């Protein structure tokens, strides 16, 4: 199977949409002789912060000499960037070989596999073939019925910050969403839990109690000596000094979750060199997390795409750039609670430029978005595409801070524009 054939098959799988359930994955992994049993899995769910938590954890394990797989979603540039071992994404050759083998199983067994299920199976099998020590596995959506929840023997379960998102699928209250996220908790592994609202905490802790596992949470009160610069920040936590290249107060909190993960692994007997742990934090850089893609004027790319994420973005911007004005290149999916996001950003926005994410079935047309933006801001332009918006901002807002945000599905267009 060549790349074009694989892409066509993946598109056919995509047409099946979201199918929540584990039957397909169980059949595929059984046919593959349970590749997920051949390495230690850290399974991570949450609404916000799970990608950052996964990436920091993987980087630290890699720095300490453990061969570590990382599976995240969605892709930010191309499919391969969902699947990494250490610092390298899966090669085309390996991707096509594993992909072809799994397609053969699905066709032989008449398994109607979806896009996300297929890519998850590719990742799990690839990590086994490459003899990984650890795999850091990010949930796609929810948890209980997510394809990644086919794994049944994680060494650790992690729940990051939970907020309202994907309410059509996961429920319209925090408690309902927490129940779905908490569905990844297994009797084999304790839970590292980002401190949450009370109703979320109660749900997660009840599930953990029913499974007979302990819950470990970082203590945010022990975050001290925070210092924020334009491109880095530092703090101490339980006497350990940490420097981050990732920006925003929320990343400091996410990193305390990672410190608790590392501490637990040390208790299990895995050696972690303190200097290499700190080096892992410092060396973690991520696409679309307050990523500076241009210097003059400053243009930042961020994946914030829900009310909580946008709120944290606003907080970070005003802390890092206290005396600057902000222009938002903004695009959203029509099934999101985007009005609340606009309300938050309008408190600090000088101007908005409406664009459309690269997701034809779900995007909100920029003309419709402009109608809403006009209610909150006097300077609004409808440019539709990312390249046009960037060029317009470069001309009209040379003295301001420009932020591209609202959806991960416009990241690819930004990276293509800058040839990243």
Provide the token pair at 98. 């594993």
Compare 20 and 174 and report the one with higher pLDDT. 174
| The length of the chain, given as a count of residues | 420
Q: Is it the case that residue 340 has pLDDT exceeding 60?
A: yes
DSSP class of residue 33? T
Across the range 77-101, mean pLDDT stands at 97
33 conformational bin, left if phi > 0, alpha if psi -120 to 50, beta if neither = left
Q: Is it the case that residue 420 has pLDDT exceeding 60?
A: no
What's the CA gap between 356 and 378, in Å, rounded?
Answer: 20
Q: Mean pLDDT over all residues of the chain?
A: 95
What's the CA gap between 226 and 233, in Å, rounded?
Answer: 7
What share of the chain has pLDDT > 70, as a percent? 99
pLDDT at 233: 96
What pTM does this model have? 0.93
pLDDT at 230: 84
Provide the token pair at 24. 């397909």
**Residue 410 in contact with residue 331, Cβ under 8 Å?**
yes
Domain boundaries, the chain: 3-283, 291-417
pLDDT at 21: 86
291-417 and 3-283 share a CATH fold: no
Across the range 220-225, mean pLDDT stands at 96
**Residue 200 in contact with residue 165, Cβ under 8 Å?**
no
Neighbours of 153 (CB within 10 A): 14
What confidence category does residue 419 fall into, taking pLDDT thresholds of 50, 70 and 90? confident
What's the CA gap between 257 and 156, in Å, rounded?
Answer: 12
156 conformational bin, left if phi > 0, alpha if psi -120 to 50, beta if neither = beta
What's the CA gap between 6 and 171, in Å, rounded?
Answer: 34
Q: Is it the case that residue 88 has pLDDT exceeding 80?
A: yes
Strands (E), 191-251: 191-193, 215-216, 223-228, 233-237, 240-244
Quick one: 291-417 is in which CATH superfamily?
Mur ligase, C-terminal domain (3.90.190.20)
pLDDT at 16: 86
Provide the token pair at 317. 């911007």
Provide the token pair at 284. 């973690």
How many CA atoms within 13 Å lie on the side-chain side of 291? Answer: 21
Nearby residues of 103 by Cβ (< 8 Å), 6 or more positions away: 1, 6, 9, 118
pLDDT at 167: 64
User: pLDDT tens digits, residue range 131-177?
Assistant: 999 999 999 988 899 999 999 999 999 999 998 776 676 787 999 99
Neighbours of 345 (CB within 10 A): 25
Nearby residues of 221 by Cβ (< 8 Å), 6 or more positions away: none
What's the CA gap between 317 and 115, in Å, rounded?
Answer: 36
What's the CA gap between 113 and 369, in Å, rounded?
Answer: 34
Domain 3-283 of CATH type 3.40.1190.10:
yes
User: pLDDT tens digits, residue range 28-52?
Assistant: 999 999 999 999 999 999 999 999 9
pLDDT at 169: 66
Q: Is it the case that residue 395 has pLDDT exceeding 90?
A: yes
Across the range 174-201, mean pLDDT stands at 95
Nearby residues of 191 by Cβ (< 8 Å), 6 or more positions away: 157, 158, 159, 185, 204, 208, 213, 214, 215, 216
| Residue 84, CA distances (Å) to 26, 155, 219 in order | 23, 20, 31
Q: Is it the case that residue 322 has pLDDT exceeding 80?
A: yes
Across the range 284-289, mean pLDDT stands at 94
User: pLDDT tens digits, residue range 106-123?
Assistant: 999 999 999 999 999 999
Neighbours of 214 (CB within 10 A): 11
């Amino acid at each position: 199977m060549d790349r074009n054939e694989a892409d066509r098959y993946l598109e056919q799988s995509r047409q099946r949409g979201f199918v929540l359930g584990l039957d397909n994955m169980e059949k595929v992994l059984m046919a593959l002789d349970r590749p997920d049993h051949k390495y230690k899995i850290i399974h991570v769910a949450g609404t916000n912060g799970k990608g950052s938590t996964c990436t920091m954890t993987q980087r630290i394990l890699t720095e300490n000499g453990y061969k570590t797989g990382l599976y995240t979603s969605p892709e930010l540039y191309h499919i391969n960037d969902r699947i990494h071992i250490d610092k390298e994404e899966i090669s085309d050759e390996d991707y096509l070989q594993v992909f072809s083998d799994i397609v053969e199983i699905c066709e032989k067994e008449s398994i109607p596999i979806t896009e996300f299920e297929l890519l998850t199976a590719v990742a799990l099998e690839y990590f086994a073939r490459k003899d990984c020590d650890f795999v850091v596995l990010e949930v796609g959506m929810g948890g209980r019925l997510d394809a990644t929840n086919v794994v049944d023997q994680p060494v650790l379960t992690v729940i990051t910050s939970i907020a309202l998102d994907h309410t059509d699928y996961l429920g319209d209250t925090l408690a309902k969403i927490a129940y779905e996220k908490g569905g990844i908790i297994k009797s084999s592994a304790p839970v590292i839990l980002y401190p949450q609202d009370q109703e979320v905490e109660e749900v997660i802790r009840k599930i953990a109690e029913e499974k007979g596992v302990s819950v470990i949470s970082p203590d945010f009160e022990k975050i001290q000596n925070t210092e924020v610069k334009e491109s880095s920040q530092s703090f101490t936590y339980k006497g350990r000094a940490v420097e981050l290249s990732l920006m925003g107060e929320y990343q400091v909190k996410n990193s305390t979750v990672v410190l608790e993960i590392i501490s637990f692994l040390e208790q299990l007997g895995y050696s972690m060199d303190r200097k290499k742990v700190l080096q892992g934090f410092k060396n973690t850089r991520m696409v679309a997390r307050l990523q500076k893609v241009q210097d003059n004027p400053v243009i930042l790319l961020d994946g914030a795409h829900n009310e909580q994420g946008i709120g944290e973005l606003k907080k970070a911007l005003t802390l890092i750039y206290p005396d600057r004005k902000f222009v938002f290149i903004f695009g959203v999916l029509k099934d999101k609670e985007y009005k609340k996001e606009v309300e938050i950003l309008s408190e600090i926005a000088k101007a908005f430029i409406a664009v459309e994410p690269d997701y034809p079935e779900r995007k909100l047309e920029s003309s419709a978005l402009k109608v809403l933006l006009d209610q909150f801001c006097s300077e609004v332009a409808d440019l539709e595409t990312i390249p046009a918006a960037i060029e317009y901002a470069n001309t009209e807002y040379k003295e301001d801070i420009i932020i591209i945000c609202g959806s991960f599905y416009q990241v690819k267009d930004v990276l293509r524009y800058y040839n990243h």
